[in-house]
Amino acid sequence: MTASAPARELLQLAAEAADSKAATDLVALDVSGPLPLVDVFLIASGNSERNVMAIAAEVEDRLNEAGAKTIRREGRSEGHWVLLDFGDLVVHVFHEEDRVYYSLERLWKDCPTVPFALPVASEA
């Protein structure tokens, strides 16, 4: 299986939202094969607890504005690993150190990546 078109659209919105709050090392994985209820994981890093929470809040706000419902939200109070479940898309926002420790990319290494585009920063 491959990620559905609606999941790819949510991924694009989520990636742009995360990028707007200085998320780093964004990676999207197509997990539709091994996980029947989820199509895509978006994994992003923040450089502090405050940054992780800001990234997660922006992603959730933008996807909710686009009509996606947040099914589950975990970890917002700690700011180390925030999980946002939108059904077809699950967003993982990690503090940099926690991302290395949990290494989701290694756990899901057999899953292909899903491309997305980020806006090019303009020079002032």
CA 39, distance to chain mean position in Å, is 12
Q: How far apart are CA 124 and CA 119, in angstroms?
A: 15
CA 111, distance to chain mean position in Å, is 15
Query: What single letter denotes the amino acid at residue 56?
Result: A
Quick one: pLDDT at residue 121?
66
Phi, psi of 27 (to 5 degrees): -140, 135
Quick one: pLDDT at residue 32?
93
Quick one: pLDDT at residue 120?
77
Q: How far apart are CA 97 and CA 116, in angstroms?
A: 24
Query: Do residues 91 and 102 lie in contact, with contact meaning Cβ atoms separated by under 8 Å?
Result: no
In order, the DSSP letters of 40-54 are: EEEEEEESSHHHHHH
CA 10, distance to chain mean position in Å, is 10
pLDDT digits (tens, 9 = 90+) for 10-44: 999 999 999 999 999 999 999 999 988 899 999 99
Quick one: pLDDT at residue 2?
86
Low-confidence stretches of the chain (pLDDT beneath 50): none
Q: What residues does each domain of the chain span?
A: 5-107
Quick one: pLDDT at residue 12?
97
CATH number given to 5-107: 3.30.460.10
